[in-house]
Amino acid sequence: VLTQSPATLSLSPGERATLSCRASQSLSKYLAWYQLKPGQAPRLLIYNASNRAPGIPARFIGSGSGTDFTLTISSLEPEDFAVYYCQYRSSWPRFGQGTKVEIK
């Protein structure tokens, strides 16, 4: 089970966003983060906990291992307001419940 927190994060452009994903058992490094916006294809941001996917801006930073993972957006851009999901890589892939980053 993946538990994301907070459920909603209300921030202003330029602020730092810190999203958490906690696993019920160790995942080693096998966690990804995705960004979802209405009407758009989801986007892979981070894989293996800390590797940015090709084309992803440096402001997206993944960290953590084992059971605790964090996605940090160092300075929010207007296009970053979206819902973010973590995902565990396995033969039965699982997603967290999501964190909505909304404009304050």
Partner 1 sequence: QITLKESGPTLVRPTQTLTLTCTFSGFSLSESGEGVNWIRQPPGKALEWLALIYWDDDKLYSPSLENRLTITKDTSKNQVVLTMANMDPVDAATYYCAHAAYGSLTGYYDYWGQGTLVTVSS
Q: 22, 30, 50, 66: which one contacts partner 1 (CB under 8 A)?
A: 30
| Burial class of residue 15, CB neighbours in 10 A (0-12, 13-18, 19+) | middle
∠ CA 29-32-73, nearest 5°, is: 105
CA dihedral defined by 74, 58, 9, 96, rounded to 10 degrees?
-140
CB-nearer residue toward partner 1: 48 or 75: 48
Measured in degrees and rounded to the nearest 5, phi and psi for residue 84 equal -120, 135
Q: Which stretch binds partner 1 (CB under 8 A): 5-13, 36-44, 63-71, 72-80?
A: 36-44
Q: Under a CB-based contact definition with an 8 Å cutoff, are residues 28 and 65 in contact?
A: yes
Residues belonging to the chain: 104
Q: Is 25 in the site for partner 1 (CB under 8 A)?
A: no
Q: 91, 101, 103, 104: which one contacts partner 1 (CB under 8 A)?
A: 91
Q: 93, 102, 103, 104: which one contacts partner 1 (CB under 8 A)?
A: 93
Q: Is 64 in the site for partner 1 (CB under 8 A)?
A: no
- Applying CB under 8 A, the residues found at the interface with partner 1 are 30, 32, 34, 36, 39-44, 47-48, 51, 53, 85, 87, 89-98
